[in-house]
Amino acid sequence: MKICWFHLMPYRYLPEDFEEKYRSVWVDVPSHLFDPLKANELYNEYLDELEFADQTGFDGICINEHHNNAYGIMPSPNITAATLTRRTKDAAIVVLGNSLALYNPPLRVAEEFAMLDCISGGRLVAGFPVGTSMDTNYAYGATPANLREKYYEAHDLVMKSWTEPEPFAFNGKHNQIRYVNIWPRPLQQPHPPVWIPGGGSLETWEWTARMDYVYCYLSYFGYKRGIQVMDGFWKEMENLGVDDNPYRAGFLQLVCVAETDEKAKELYAEHVDFFYKKCLHVYEGFAEAPGYRTIRTIKSGAVQQVGASASRFRQRLTWEDYVDQGYVIAGSPKTVIENLRKAVEGLRVGHLMTLLQIGSMPRDLTMMNTELFATQVKPHLEDMWDEYEDRWWPQPVAAESRANPAPVAV
């Protein structure tokens, strides 16, 4: 299986009384709480961590896009990815992704992804999320009623721009371009693998299956809850007559590794608490703009990850709850291996995305978590799903014939 290292890039200097004083970590969290000098440190620290994940042998490094958000200070994952193309060697660069409907024209995404693919020698995974309601509707003003329609049209335009070698005209409802003709084209042919992060909507499952893309369920609530959703996904794949190759799916899991289970609690509890109580403190009114989800998905009972009831519930949780309920897989390497194998089998996912920097976790602890995972956990999971072929993994140029960054020595 493939194991990736995912960074959210939280702003880890939120005040102690943040959740009492402010109604939301997202959308209207005032930017006077953001100290750019601290961010100078943070961004570099976080990029170091992503680079370390490459050095320690993670198969991929994952980044994503959020706006007006104090737990994800990465409005442009492409800028992050650009730095990583030069400073990492082997890892796939998994951009999860660019919210297509927000860009006008979305060709900008096609161009930037193609640049990243060329610079990295074909290591890009192109992620196309619809984007959360907070990001798209509230922060970027996108109209909920036609967000998905715009998204699908943008997708069609991007894919055609990547695969059509001659200039063409695109007469869409939301995009009219007389001369579509992007330079550069992506290195991977016909295009980089496409992964679709989602929150469990039926329409996305159907579409992902039809397009033969990877579906990534990016939940913060762990494998025990995730299994219910992924069971639904696999049932739907069966209904649609699609095979059950585990590499069709990805899942995000919070993981904390230490020498012993007790040590894990001692080292990580406060940072996990910061994540669930501060980072996910989202005002209920922003949880979902009317029209963001279809009526069909609402009726199917897909649960929202954020909002007041979810927040109130989490305010009572302790380290033991997080661990028992599977929000976090934590403990000694042995404990983590056992639970992760259970999780991966239960979820049936070939692409595991691990969140190893969590909430307020500082650099040294993150590096330790990463190293312990890479050396003592990862080797015991890699053999899973060996019998299946991963058709959704980047196909880079062979390392020996790939360009290497070669700064001129002064």
Partner 1 sequence: MTAMTATANKLTVQVGPITTRYEARGSGPPLLYLHGAFGYASWPTFLDALTDSFTVYAPTHPGFEGDDAIDHIEDLLDLTLYHAELVEALGLERPHVVGHYNGAMIAAEMAVLDSDSVGKIVLAAPAGLWQDDNPGLDYNATPITEMRQSLFARADSAAAHSFFPVPQDDEEMGWQIIRRVQSLSVVGKFLWPIPDKGLARRARRIKSPTLVVVGDCDKVVPPEYADVLTSLIPSSRSLVMEDSGHMFPHEHPAKFAEAVLEFLRE
Applying CB under 8 A, the residues found at the interface with partner 1 are 27, 137-138, 141-146, 173, 283-286, 289-291, 293, 295, 298-299, 308
Q: Which residues pair with 61 in a beta bridge?
A: 5, 93
Can the peptide bond before residue 97 be classed as cis, meaning omega within 30 degrees of 0? yes
Of the pair 57, 285, the CB lying nearest partner 1 is at: 285
Q: ∠303-305-311 over CA atoms, to 5°?
A: 115
Of the pair 153, 390, the CB lying nearest partner 1 is at: 153
Closest-CA residue to 350 (of 253, 255, 248, 254): 248
The rounded distance, in Å, linking the Cα atoms of 168 and 155 is 16
Helix ranges restricted to H, 240-362: 261-274, 295-299, 308-315, 319-324, 333-347
Of the pair 142, 358, the CB lying nearest partner 1 is at: 142
Closest-CA residue to 34 (of 78, 7, 8, 69): 69
Residue 203, CA atoms < 13 Å, CB-side half-sphere: 13
Number of residues assigned to the chain: 410
Of the pair 101, 344, the CB lying nearest partner 1 is at: 101
Of the pair 32, 173, the CB lying nearest partner 1 is at: 173
Closest distance of CB 297 from partner 1, Å = 10
Q: ∠129-302-273 over CA atoms, to 5°?
A: 80
Closest distance of CB 288 from partner 1, Å = 9
Of the pair 89, 174, the CB lying nearest partner 1 is at: 174
